[in-house]
């Protein structure tokens, strides 16, 4: 299987693990390092709603925890007809590691790849 298929499959598969009893919304994310390793994340909600963490950040933090800091693409999957772009908080957190990350959104109606620079222009950087 080629890497982009593998990345898409990983995002779809991990969405099934979402813990989302409050929204009922399942998100899966898979991020690939420059060296070709894939890390995944799903959204994890909490009854104290503000403590919920998005799938994208969990995928990224999993990868960083494993020692990676260079990423080329993230795939975000939802089992929906509409495409969902990453929230603002996740855009900022992803931009920390690669402001030009490729962001691929997959839903039941297809997929779209968009550069993070377009999703979050003029991002905050120290
Ligand atoms: N969610 C994500 O996982 N990623 C996003 O980019 C936006 C929202 C999750 C958080 C919450 O569990 C549910 O989707 C509804 O907001």
Q: Cβ neighbours of residue 92 under 8 Å, at least 6 residues apart?
A: 120, 123, 124
- Alpha carbon distance 122, 30 (integer Å): 25
| Closest by CA position to 86, among listed 67, 66, 112, 124 | 112
HSE-up (13 A, CA, CB side) for residue 34: 9
* CA-closest candidate to residue 61, choices 42, 86, 35: 42
pLDDT digits (tens, 9 = 90+) for 57-105: 999 999 999 999 999 999 999 999 999 999 999 999 999 999 999 999 9
Atom in ligand 1 nearest the alpha carbon of residue 29: 3
Determine the atom of ligand 1 nearest the C-alpha atom of 53: 10
Residue nearest to atom 7 of ligand 1 (CA): 87
The two three-digit tokens of residue 124, written as one number:
């905050």
Predicted confidence (pLDDT) per residue in 5-49, tens digit: 999 999 999 999 999 999 999 999 999 999 999 999 999 999 999
Q: Is 102 a catalytic residue?
A: no
**pTM score over 0.85:** yes
């Amino acid at each position: 299987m080629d890497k982009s298929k593998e990345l898409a499959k990983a995002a779809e598969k991990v969405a099934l693990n979402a813990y989302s009893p409050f929204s009922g919304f399942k998100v899966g994310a898979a991020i690939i390092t420059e060296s070709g390793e894939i890390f995944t994340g799903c959204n994890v909600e909490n009854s104290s709603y503000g403590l919920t963490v998005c799938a994208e950040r969990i995928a990224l933090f999993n990868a960083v925890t494993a020692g990676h800091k260079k990423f080329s693409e993230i795939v975000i999957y939802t089992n929906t007809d509409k495409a969902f772009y990453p929230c603002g908080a996740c855009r900022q957190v992803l931009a920390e590691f690669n402001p030009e990350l490729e962001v691929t959104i997959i839903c039941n109606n297809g997929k779209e790849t968009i550069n993070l620079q377009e999703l979050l222009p003029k991002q905050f950087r120290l």
